[in-house]
Structure 1
């Protein structure tokens, strides 16, 4: 069972380098089960989705990307993941066409550079357009005829330090526009972003700076009345060694003679360099495990559901994304 059955919009953020784009892609695959249709969006212009799935750069058009995970019970059929690269210029052109019927006229404005000017002249306009398109994808209505209706939308969002401002940009418009359609639409967007149908998930790794930024991000989101989802701890190292063995390595109390005997019994050529190298690796592993344990304790104190994804030494390809998607589903994020 999913921990978030009411959520339609999953926003995935995190400090740079924590793997938020990978987590967003895996979450979309996990959500696309039992025939459900999911839209995976990106807004930062990096074409990260195209690189992860090894496809051509995405246009401003919803493109079928992959098949989701099959149902756990083997019954039914997997769903489908579509992808969308949202850029502000195309979003403004679509807005003009949908709400003001400026099809050819809008394209003429684009040709003369008016659209680019409008999206860069005022601070926050880009975010308004990006979140506006995101809102439209979640709340499809009769204006966008023939468009696909999605069961869930996953956003590969801006980093943690900017996510509250990004989602709250329409709140600022409400204060500027006292009346009229801009105020009305901004209020409607904020109603969605602050509702139980939205969850902002934060990705971190077990290091001091990303964990601190995650804690700060949760506090900012709560202060802005935006719904905090779960914390996904990414790139978790395996815990194959028992705590006693790790502790012995950390304090240099490993029995060197026992290590030499075990290596010899395994048929390896044992020399001083090999033994010294293994002891050094053991100390480094112990230090890393101690650091991760301390940061994991901080994550547990954040008061939100926590999910873990393993570190994949071979890197992330399409097969690895499905593996991560399965881990997210088993833990209840999807």
Structure 2
């Protein structure tokens, strides 16, 4: 299946807190790292979520190979990871663009880095996104560094994503001309181009779906390219529509249910049957609410993928399963 974003090299993953955006970002990186491709998975919130999901040591400020991508007829690629620290990013920026090697280290000792990232508005986000931009646009300034076919960014939540990617607005109050302004303009050229796709993660609940719709509208207002929506933690469809309707109406055939329990070797008491009927009704109500929110997501007019719940939690094996689902639905 052909990707809806054939030119995208930067995949930004955002979503309301609790929807599993970090899990989806990790799975997307694994999915993209097929056909022998090299993928960089970045995080910017300092939580070391990538290390926990991939069961590796806490990530330094250095690109570290952490996994092999999905296998196919052309072989797997590799996933590298990077935990982007704003202070380290500033020192690297000074070394690359101003050749302040030792001087940059001296600035760190005097606390200038902390000042720049906490007092000057917007500097922190500019530094974080600047490192992502450099990873996408490797050039002669960074000799010997890995050139990536794709970069996946586990970005801040939906409510902050437009500000986070709007580096031109953040820099406007700091620099009108010069290398900082020039780099910000180059970054915005990437973020607003078909080389970027901003994907939003949601679950089938009213508030996350509404925040996703608002996030898409906000991204479009700022000229940022919307990718797709990943509906995460979807309940399994293992009950027929007819049985769901009966459960919702409170008309499940308890005698038939009791016979099935007996066939399975379980004694069907009244308390057990009443409890199962109540659980079935709750499940049917939840499914009805999900179906209503699924219609809202469908009306957003963007590509949609659905990922099932992970009853055993998130581990590397589960990430590969989710990656295969994303690729099968055309997201990689």
TM-score above 0.5, yes or no: yes
Distance 2:218 2:173 in 1: 20
**Structure 1 equivalent of residue 44 of structure 2:** 43
Name whichever of 312-321 and 112-121 sits farther off.
Answer: 112-121
**Structure 2 equivalent of residue 219 of structure 1:** 217
CA contact (8 A) 2:122 2:171 kept: no
Name whichever of 5-14 and 112-121 sits farther off.
Answer: 112-121
Distance 1:293 1:16 in 2: 22
Deviation at 1:284, TM superposition (A): 0.6
Distance 2:328 2:200 in 1: 18
Name whichever of 134-143 and 259-268 sits farther off.
Answer: 259-268
**Paired residues, number:** 331
Distance 1:174 1:122 in 2: 12
Name whichever of 85-94 and 117-126 sits farther off.
Answer: 117-126
Deviation at 1:265, TM superposition (A): 2.8
Q: Matches of residues 117-136 of structure 1 in structure 2 within 5 Å?
A: 117-136=115-134
Cα deviation, 1:122-161, whole Å, max 9, x if unaligned, reads 1111001001111111011111111111000000000000
Deviation at 1:167, TM superposition (A): 0.2
Distance 1:3 1:192 in 2: 18
Name whichever of 216-225 and 247-256 sits farther off.
Answer: 247-256
CA contact (8 A) 1:174 1:187 kept: no
Distance 2:220 2:166 in 1: 12
- 1:200 equivalenced with 2:181 (yes/no): no
CA contact (8 A) 2:43 2:84 kept: yes
Q: Secondary structure at the match of 1:5?
A: coil
Deviation at 1:233, TM superposition (A): 0.1
**Structure 1 equivalent of residue 187 of structure 2:** 189
RMSD: 1.1
Candidates 252, 255, 258, aligned match of 1:254: 252
Candidates 234, 245, 252, aligned match of 2:232: 234
Deviating above 4 A after TM superposition, structure 1's stretches of 4 or more consecutive aligned residues are none
- 1:16 equivalenced with 2:14 (yes/no): no
Distance 1:101 1:259 in 2: 75
Q: Secondary structure at the match of 1:61?
A: coil
Deviation at 1:175, TM superposition (A): 6.5
CA contact (8 A) 1:174 1:186 kept: no
Distance 1:18 1:281 in 2: 24
User: What TM-score results when the alignment is normalised by the length of structure 1?
Assistant: 0.97
Structure 1 unaligned spans of 5+: none
Q: Secondary structure at the match of 2:289?
A: helix
Candidates 69, 83, 86, aligned match of 2:84: 86
Distance 2:301 2:232 in 1: 18
CA contact (8 A) 2:122 2:170 kept: no
Deviation at 1:266, TM superposition (A): 2.7
**Structure 1 equivalent of residue 281 of structure 2:** 283
Q: Matches of residues 121-200 of structure 1 in structure 2 within 5 Å?
A: 121-174=119-172, 177-200=175-198
**Structure 2 equivalent of residue 25 of structure 1:** 26
Q: Matches of residues 80-119 of structure 1 in structure 2 within 5 Å?
A: 80-119=78-117
CA contact (8 A) 1:171 1:186 kept: no
**Structure 2 equivalent of residue 7 of structure 1:** 8
Deviation at 1:6, TM superposition (A): 0.9
Name whichever of 163-172 and 21-30 sits farther off.
Answer: 163-172
Name whichever of 253-262 and 304-313 sits farther off.
Answer: 253-262
Distance 1:47 1:149 in 2: 23
Q: Secondary structure at the match of 1:143?
A: helix
CA contact (8 A) 1:10 1:199 kept: yes
Q: Secondary structure at the match of 2:164?
A: helix
